[in-house]
Amino acid sequence: MKRKRKSSEIILAALTWTAAAATIGILLYLVVFILIKGIPYLTPSLFSFTYTSDNVSLTPALVSTVVITALSLVIAVPLGIFAAIYLCEYARRGNRAVALIRMTCETLAGIPSIIFGLFGLLFFVGALGWGFSVLSGACTLAVMILPLVMRTAEEAILAVPDIWREGAFGLGAGRLRTVFRIVLPAAAPGILAGIILAVGRIVGETAALLYTAGTVAQIPTTPMQSARTLSVHMYALSSEGLHSDQGYATAVVLLVVVILINALSAGIARRCGAKK
């Protein structure tokens, strides 16, 4: 009896440890694999300022990534934060609109990026007539990251103790003043961590951009021009099939960016967790 119990313990322990080791093993394998395949091709010419079909420079894509990310954030961050303020600070309990907003936010969060891409193609590119452009792409991505910004902002705002609000009200501050002077500053780290996660999603996005921002590999000079982000650039390299080594080099850059973003977001989240 005792032996049986012991052996089942050992088997179950082995199972969990193996699975965890597999998860981490896969991650390490993937990272090391990409680094080994990509680093030899990280040449200075890969960072030259212009893209040609011989030298598939990633600098224009890097610039476009920054531009599209900034533009999407400018649209989605205020919307998301304001929406969270409404849900946490303004809406009355049992308000029917709140249930609907929560439900649609959940739905948005579950919609895959290709659907956002199709929607962007039909709405921003087609119906609004913006064509394949930085603006269409950024708006599509703004819709995509809205639920992420909204949810993390909501969590951060809810974590601000009620007693602070009551203190502000007691000192004669109105609701608006309380929100902007007390609640938002206290919630800022949590909101920021969410925004950084959103940046990560934008940087990694391809399917939503292919048919909204298009795939032109030059630096855009106006928001109405087409441009490709790093991820789209990688996909284009792989589907053209001529420069897949440079594709791996681009993957290294993208991977480094993503690792930095994750570390930053986790660091900020940890610091505001520690403060509490």
**Residue list 4-33, contact with other proteins (CB under 8 A):** 5-6, 8-9, 12-13, 15-20, 22-24, 26-27, 29-30, 33
49 versus 172: smaller Cβ distance to other proteins: 172
- Smallest gap from Cβ 153 to other proteins, in A, equals 11
- Smallest gap from Cβ 107 to other proteins, in A, equals 5
Question: Cβ of 5: how many Cβ atoms within 10 Å?
Answer: 9
- Smallest gap from Cβ 109 to other proteins, in A, equals 9
Task: State the residue for tokens 């919630």.
Answer: 187
* Per CB under 8 A, 262 contacts other proteins: yes
50 versus 107: smaller Cβ distance to other proteins: 107
Could you write out the DSSP letters of every residue in 64-105? HHHHHHHHHHHHHHHHHHHHHHIIIIISPTT-HHHHHHHHHH
* Per CB under 8 A, 171 contacts other proteins: no
Select the residue interacting with other proteins from 35, 158, 159, 255 (CB under 8 A). Answer: 255
Total residue count of the chain as it appears in this document? 276
Interface of this chain with other proteins, residues 69 to 98, rule: CB under 8 A: 78-80, 82-83, 85-87, 89-91, 97
148 and 75 Cβ atoms separated by less than 8 Å: no
Distances (CA, A) of 35 to 32, 38, 61, 152, 248: 5, 5, 20, 32, 8
Residue 203, helix vs strand vs coil: helix
